[in-house]
Chains A and B, each alone.
Chain A
Amino acid sequence: MAGDVNRIGEYEWELPVDYRPGMRVPARFFLSETLRKDLESGALEQLANVATLPGILKYSLAMPDIHWGYGFPIGGVAAFSVDGGIISPGGVGFDINCGVRLLSTPLRAVELSQRRELVEHLFQAVPAGVGAKSDRRLSAKDLEEVMVRGAAWAVEEGYGVPRDLERCEEGGGMAGADPSAVSQKARQRGLPQSGTLGSGNHFLEIQEVKEIYDPAAAAAMGVILGSVCVMIHCGSRGLGHQVCTDHLKALEAATKRYGISLPDRQLACAPVTSPEGKAYYGAMAASANYAWANRQMITDMTRKVFVKMFGIGYGEMPLVYDVAHNVAKREVHQVDGKAVPLCVHRKGATRAFGPGSPSIPKDCAAVGQPVIIPGSMGTPSFLLRGTALAMEKTFGSTCHGAGRVTSRTQAKKNLRGQQVRDRLAEAGILVRAPSYESIAEEAPEVYKPSLEVVRVVDAVGLSKLVARLEPLGVIKG
């Protein structure tokens, strides 16, 4: 690590404002000694780049799963004043509202029979992998509705129950979506892909609640020790990817017009209140809503498999919560004792609002927002709760996952997918994927230990541990 990185707490580090010319605020990030060993210099440079953007308030922030991305680092959080600040697709990424949701079931893991069949049926039911198409191709009119209403559209179409919406960040649909800012190309990509998992690190996982750290919070969220849960990780598919690509080009021109100089072209941006900034926000919100509808449709496919195999009721698999981890949002936060309207970018970071926030489900109001942190195929996932401290320190944000330590290419060189699958099967984790390559690329050892990442956010207090979930079966995209 460079010499002028200051340690300001056991887990808290700072790049001072003079770390690099052009920084408007210092950068702060959270790491343990163990995680510090894997910190890439490219990630620090990207963290410093974000600090140069106009209107950034307090700090350019990164969570303990910080790693080298494009534009913002992954794990990056930054808040910009609506008055004079910017919005950038580089702070959201191509996969707008990539996110995670957790469903509970009334089944107990020790009694779960036919596990292999369950994995196979889920794999058959949920389109996954490169080039997978949905069983339901949306009409142009459907897509318009999806972009405006998100998961609410899906629930009305029969892909869920009204309570699901109460358990989604933003109620499963962001206000301010503007379909007119979504190009025909983006729509063409979105039409055949709603209700598909995608590939890469996206997955659907059957899990067991192995440990409860906070019984009151677990009870409020509806999670029971020893029960079977299902975690779904995916995003806005080609529609969101195209929106990012389109608006990056439009904002690049705007960046020049507004006289903003940038250290990285991927950080193309415009003032939040400019026509270009508003257009991106509207298209991004439309993509986020597409992603919520997408996860809702996959939820429906999952529930139907469980209902058919185990004879449980459709309503017996309630949604615990659904979080976005690639998104920019209009939020009001306290800055220097005043309530300030902000545009908060979270790129590979999760909202973690504390107890009492009006934006979280009523039955979780006393404990804080549920936060879902996925592990990798062989490592646990975690349920946490948002805190008042996160509101003070990180604009109500925490980590989003484990973060890779080995590249995909290296993983494929070092590991054989078939062996990874067999090794996981011996450990009681059944994996099904379209190809062995995708299993090798996502093997447990290519990720940082998820426990260490959540241990740091728990120790700092950015969110607090509620439960640990261990994988039983995985569908990889």
Chain B
Amino acid sequence: MPFETLPHTADVRIRVTARGLEPLFSESARAMAAIMAPGCVPVPTVTREVTVEAEDLEGLLHDFLSELLYLFDAEGLLLCDCRITLAAGRLSATCRGEEFSREKHAGGAEIKGVSYSGLRIYKEGEDDVLEIIFDV
């Protein structure tokens, strides 16, 4: 499911909608990859296991996306296809993607960090919704 962009003058603020928290987190990772580097296609050779621990859902999401930013900078990996498992205080994910290529993935914006300001996870009818601001 695509994400939508909300008004924010300086940074990138988005709203992601999905059915269930695990798909919501997965879509958030996909959205972040699309902002940084459009056109990611997962290949079997690039897979990373990611585990983070935090006290609440917002903390888990924040730390998970921050970990993906780290892998992008340190290893040049664009991870856009994540299978998420949530447990109390813990998120584990199998993340697939591809190596970043400046030719193939031009046109994106470098995300510096995932902000807690304006971070909301809530229910809307049957849907789970996330609002988040990325510092670019």
Contacts and interface: CB of A to CB of B under 8 A. Distances in A.
B7 A130 contact: no
Contact of B11 (A69, A90, A199, A406): A69
A150 to B, nearest CB: 20
Interface in B48-89: 54, 58-59, 63, 66, 69-70, 72-74, 76
A244 B113 contact: yes
Interface string A242-267: 10110011001000000000001110
Interface in A193-219: 193, 198-200
Interface residues of A, number: 50
B6 to A, nearest CB: 9
B102 A129 contact: yes
B116 interface: yes
Interface string B76-114: 100000000000000000000000101001111110111
Nearest to B100: A131
A129 B70 CA distance: 17
Nearest to A72: B117
A95 B112 contact: yes
Chain B interface: which size bin? Answer: 35 or more
Contacts of A408: 12, 109, 136
A199 B92 CA distance: 30
Contact of A70 (B58, B106, B109, B117): B117
A407 B13 CA distance: 9
A200 to B, nearest CB: 5
A40 B9 CA distance: 9
A333 interface: no
11 contacts: A40-B9, A70-B118, A130-B106, A241-B69, A249-B63, A252-B59, A264-B117, A265-B116, A265-B119, A407-B5, A435-B107
Interface in A437-455: 437-438, 441
Interface in A125-141: 129-132
A93 B37 contact: no
User: Across chains A and B, which 4 residue pairs bring their CB atoms closest together, nearest first?
Assistant: A94-B113, A70-B117, A70-B115, A265-B116
A193 B73 contact: yes
A94 B11 CA distance: 12
B73 A189 contact: yes
B133 interface: yes
A67 B9 contact: yes
Contact of B70 (A93, A242, A266, A405): A242
A471 interface: no
B24 interface: no
A199 B110 contact: yes
Interface string A88-129: 001001110000000000000000000000000000000001
A407 B70 contact: no
Contacts of B108: 130, 437
B68 to A, nearest CB: 12
A131 B8 contact: no
Contacts of B116: 70, 248, 264-266, 268
Interface string A148-185: 00000000000000000000000000000000000001
A93 B112 CA distance: 9
A253 to B, nearest CB: 9
A407 B135 contact: no
A54 interface: no
Nearest to A184: B74
A472 B39 CA distance: 34
A67 B117 contact: no
A238 interface: yes
A344 B39 CA distance: 42
Contact of A68 (B10, B54, B102): B10
A67 B133 CA distance: 14
A237 to B, nearest CB: 8
B74 to A, nearest CB: 4
B118 to A, nearest CB: 7
Contacts of B114: 245
A238 B74 contact: yes
